[in-house]
A and B are shown apart, each in its own frame.
Chain A
Amino acid sequence: MEAIVIEDLTKYYGNILALDNLNLKISRGHCVGFLGPNGAGKSTTIKILCNLIRPTHGKAYVLGFDVSVEAQNALRSIGAIVEVPEFYLYLTPEEMLSYLGKLRGIGSAALKERIAKVLELVRLQEWVNIKIGKFSRGMKQRLGIAQAILHDPTVLILDEPALGLDPRGMYEIREIIKNLVKEGKTIFLASHMLHEVREVCDSVALINKGKLIACNSVENLEKIFHVQQIEIETLSPANKQQAKKISRFEAAKQVSIHENKITVEFEGNETKRAEFLNFLVNNVKLQIISFRSSSKGLEEIYLRFVKEVS
């Protein structure tokens, strides 16, 4: 069963077309990044999925429930952050979460326990009794995550969840999302942070001007567009002979070396990457400190797509 199904979704704001027959399916247990420039239709899609606005045409289903028709059933399994979360400033995080938890029918004892758990997870446990009015933007963002996961939802719809967070906060949010993926949750993540998407999502949906322009795994997209990049850090700079050897590797399409850093435009799957790493260590005799796929591949795809459609 698909977790999210979007069929011919169209939305007009007056004369402005925000979504143009958008079609998308997200299987259960997958984490899908939702990418697109500002005004592409990401927030509109998310708002329709959360029953905040109605589509002009088309349908959106969450776990089989039409969100416009059976909103309560659909929303029961959704945890969401939409835009920058704002809360009732006169409440404390505990009271705010308690309000939302009670509305969702969580029993008092379980709710108390759960609130403590989620506040600890987003590192707000020391602010539990402080009014939200005193919170910074980053803290509100953390609280936004806490309310989204409070009821242990099956589907998480997150609109820029790391917005306004410091680097540590961003890292922590990524870790939380990764853990949720491991728990089998379905995550639909709209973000401008491509490295975040690259790190936590198994596939991406690219949208521009209200139309879906691509939906595939990051690897497949990189393969199709030959834009996979690998960044290698070495203990000492590679010499000319070593550079030549690297260039001879079949999947390495372009190699550039700058001091201790080697960037390779790569074409190949995980097995090929493993082979390449083995090759660099055993044949090229490089002393490798780090070897990782770069989010620049995804960035390149994103820019290319947006440019092409524009």
Chain B
Amino acid sequence: MFKKKENTDLKQIGIVMRYELLKHLRRRRLIAVLAITLIVSSLQLAVPPAFNIAYPEEPKSFAESFLSFVHLLVIICGAFFAGDAIASEFEQKTGYILFPNPVKRVVLVAGKFLAAVISVFLMVGLYYAICFLSILTIYGVTLNQLVHSFAYAFLFLLGVLGLTFLFSSLLKGSMGATLLSFFMLFMILPIMEGVLTITGNEPWYSITYSSQIITEVINPSSVRVEKIVVKDSPITVWVFHPDFLTSTVVLLTYFIATLVLTLLIIDRKEMV
């Protein structure tokens, strides 16, 4: 006989998180995303000189251009690190081993979520570090706005992970959850935003629209709404610039609401 200590929820969250991080490492997903991050950064830095194109004159313009990839990076990371986090336990039947342990399902979700947050944070953080060093090297300056942008990127990653976890808890298959979250964030919501914008409606409630504050904060627009009427044409073009406070609230809402829904679903989901 041996001693067993009463585990606290917090300790169990830490254990689940560590093994989930090990999963990302062993399945080479971290390495794959790391490779994507490094390749895209290198291309951003190497392509202009290769074609004799000068970098933008302003460091802010450079940062805006460089950070435009952050949205996609977060979405890719979300799909890689969260798409199968919950669905796989049911699909691959590993839940038959994991769930009959004295661990609350909330604890399991929290541990897995934290592992995903850390993984995405590391990748996005690396991308921002490369951006910071590039600006310092090319322009010899530092941009304080990068810190704000990083904070908004962090909020966006929380929202994306929340949404992906929700899909992962709702769907039976990992692949379905991964693809749904990727297409929802990369195609469906942007298309919806485009349609709404054409009609003059600001899609302020969309997570991907709100995520535009990541680049908007680098060089904020003085106006919120631009209405461009094309001369001798019935076409009116609307350009919306997301409001920082509203977008912050929207991103936080996505994160909290999706995570709460995930916890409610996973607590009731049966391992049939």
Contacts and interface: CB of A to CB of B under 8 A. Distances in A.
Given A53-B271, A95-B22, 10 more contacts: A52-B270, A52-B271, A72-B104, A87-B94, A90-B22, A105-B4, A105-B6, A113-B2, A114-B2, A151-B4
A85 interface: yes
A104 B15 CA distance: 10
Contact of A53 (B12, B94, B270): B270
Interface string A205-234: 000000000000000000000000000000
B95 A104 contact: no
Given A151-B4, A152-B2, A52 B99 contact: yes
A10 to B, nearest CB: 15
B96 A99 contact: no
Given A76-B102, A83-B93, A87-B94, A106 B2 contact: yes
A52 B95 contact: yes
A8 B6 CA distance: 32
Given A52-B271, A83-B93, A90 B1 contact: no
B261 interface: no
B96 A82 contact: yes
B227 interface: no
B100 A78 contact: yes
A interface residue count range (under 10 / 10 to 19 / 20 to 34 / 35 or more) = 35 or more
A73 B7 CA distance: 12
29 contacts: A47-B271, A51-B99, A52-B271, A53-B270, A53-B272, A72-B102, A72-B103, A72-B104, A73-B102, A75-B102, A83-B96, A84-B93, A87-B94, A90-B26, A95-B19, A99-B19, A100-B101, A103-B16, A103-B101, A103-B102, A104-B4, A104-B101, A105-B4, A105-B7, A106-B2, A106-B5, A107-B3, A110-B2, A110-B3
B65 interface: no
Contacts of A72: 102-104
B2 A103 contact: no
A152 B1 CA distance: 7
A91 B270 CA distance: 25
B27 interface: yes
Given A51-B99, A52-B270, A102 B27 contact: no
Contacts of B104: 72
Contacts of B103: 72, 103
B12 A103 contact: yes
A19 interface: no
Contact of A50 (B1, B3, B23, B99): B99
A250 interface: no
Nearest to B107: A103
A95 B272 CA distance: 27
A57 to B, nearest CB: 15
A85 B96 contact: yes
Contacts of A51: 99-100
B12 A82 contact: no
Nearest to A152: B1
B92 interface: yes
Contacts of A90: 22-23, 26-27
Contacts of A291: none
A54 B268 CA distance: 8
Nearest to B99: A52
Interface in B4-26: 4-7, 12, 15-16, 19, 22-23, 26
A99 to B, nearest CB: 5
Give the most central of B5, B98, B101, B103: most A CB within 10 Å. Answer: B101
A82 B3 CA distance: 26
A88 interface: yes
A80 B23 contact: no
A75 B100 contact: yes
